Amino acid sequence: MSIIDLRVIKQAEILVDYSLKLKKGENVIVFFESEAKPLVLEVYKLLVKRGANEIRLRLSDYEFSEIYLNNASARQIKAFPQVEMDEIKSMDCYIRIGAPANTRGLSNVDANKISERSKITKPIQDYRVQKTRWVVTRYPTNSQAQEADMSLSEYSNFVLNAITGVDWRNKEKEQEKLKKLMDATDEVHILAEKTDLRFSIRSRNAINAFGTHNMPDGEVFTSVIEDSTNGFITFTYPALQLGKEFHDVRLEFKNGSVTKAIASKGEGDLNGILDTDKGSKVIGEFGVGNNFQIDRFTKDGLFDEKIGGTIHLALGFGYLETKSKNVSALHWDMIKDLRQEGELWFDDKLVQKNGKWLIRM
């Protein structure tokens, strides 16, 4: 058995035993793409061995979504999928394994249709997030490797090392110090190239993310006082949404809301997405990447927002556990790399410079 096969087995064990902490007799639903079959089989085997009661397998593929969105009537787009809601309500645990055969599969689908459908299905997402134990992960594919400018073997090593090469229990202890510091912070100041942004996280609840929901993980995130953001930020990497890339995104804020959004690529769609609803121009999440095993941008937010030495902001809804009050159908993460000439201030203390912690972690 090859080394990569052993790491896939370990990934399955991490998902079932560590992330989900599956209990005997529980119901589990697994969403997956076809290229993830080797990992799905290992996960399924473990679920059976651990005593899961009912295991629902759901194939997810962009081609089905493309067909639906291109052909569905307005009535169909607005119809609530009650059967899907009933199914998730009968589940204790949820696993999603992404393994895209084509990362640009929905690039030419009407963004308005995608946005409208996401509003309709949001209650299902909300229930899944709030009422089930869930985890999202990846299985490496050629399309993802190409996006990351790597061979498949290089990308497989990158993915599996980011997941199996971290002691997640130690990561939890390490990040608890950062959580406590953020909980005690009022104003955050991000200072870097083409960036001078301030906002308050006072009295919000920081979340120590150490692999119970995302795998890989390694961040601490919180919400932002909704009317507190002022200044401007230019994001380092392309912002990704709806299968599209948005380059050199610069956002200007006044009293919490985006007042101007420009991009060298995709500016029209950028502003269209920001008009999704009232909350889509407000920051719902501020996160600090802290997985230094992830050291490069790969065009996959599950990895990219965890890059050690970066921060990310999500426009749109914020998680209830962070005490966010922002409501939106949108949640769009954008990443700022602080590893070159970047400063992160908590109140009057410089806590990180050029991506390196100046506090004991």
CATH code where residue 66 lies: 3.40.1830.10
Rounded to an integer, what distance in angstroms lies between the CA atom of residue 180 and that of residue 317?
Answer: 23
**Does 105 share its domain with 220?**
no
Q: Structurally, how many domains does the chain consist of?
A: 2
Residue type at 134 in one-letter notation: W
The pLDDT assigned to 4 comes to: 58
Q: Which of 135, 164, 193 is the endpoint of a domain?
A: 164
**Does 251 share its domain with 273?**
yes
Q: What is the mean pLDDT of the chain?
A: 94
How much is the pTM? 0.86
**Does 302 share its domain with 346?**
yes
**Does 117 share its domain with 230?**
no
Q: Which residue's structure tokens are 């991490």?
A: 14
∠ Cα 58 60 63 (to 5°): 145
How many residues are there in the chain?
361
Is the Cβ–Cβ distance between 128 and 88 less than 8 Å?
yes
**Does 49 share its domain with 89?**
yes
The pLDDT assigned to 2 comes to: 52
**Does 108 share its domain with 208?**
no
- Give the pLDDT confidence of 265-294 residue by residue, as tens digits: 999 999 999 998 999 999 999 999 999 999
Rounded to an integer, what distance in angstroms lies between the CA atom of residue 226 and that of residue 334?
Answer: 17
**Does 146 share its domain with 224?**
no
- Tell me the CA end-to-end span of the chain in Å, nearest whole number: 38
Dump strand ranges (E) for 155-295: 187-192, 195-200, 207-209, 214-215, 219-222, 230-234, 239-241, 244-246, 250-254, 257-262, 283-289
**Does 93 share its domain with 185?**
no
**Does 183 share its domain with 229?**
yes
Q: Print the domain residue range for 76.
A: 3-164
**Does 176 share its domain with 272?**
yes
The pLDDT assigned to 1 comes to: 43
Q: Which of 149, 164, 179 is the endpoint of a domain?
A: 164
**Does 160 share its domain with 224?**
no
Q: How many CB atoms lie within 10 A of CB 90?
A: 10
**Does 348 share its domain with 201?**
yes
Show pLDDT as tens, one digit a residue, over the chain (361 residues). Answer: 455 578 999 999 999 999 999 999 999 999 999 999 999 999 999 999 999 999 999 999 889 999 999 999 999 999 999 999 999 999 999 999 999 999 888 878 887 888 889 889 989 999 998 999 999 999 999 999 999 999 999 999 999 999 999 999 999 999 999 999 999 999 999 999 999 999 999 999 999 999 999 999 999 999 999 999 999 999 999 998 877 889 999 999 999 999 999 999 999 999 999 998 999 999 999 999 999 999 999 999 999 999 999 999 999 999 999 999 999 989 999 999 999 999 999 998 999 999 999 987 6
Q: Which of 137, 164, 191 is the endpoint of a domain?
A: 164
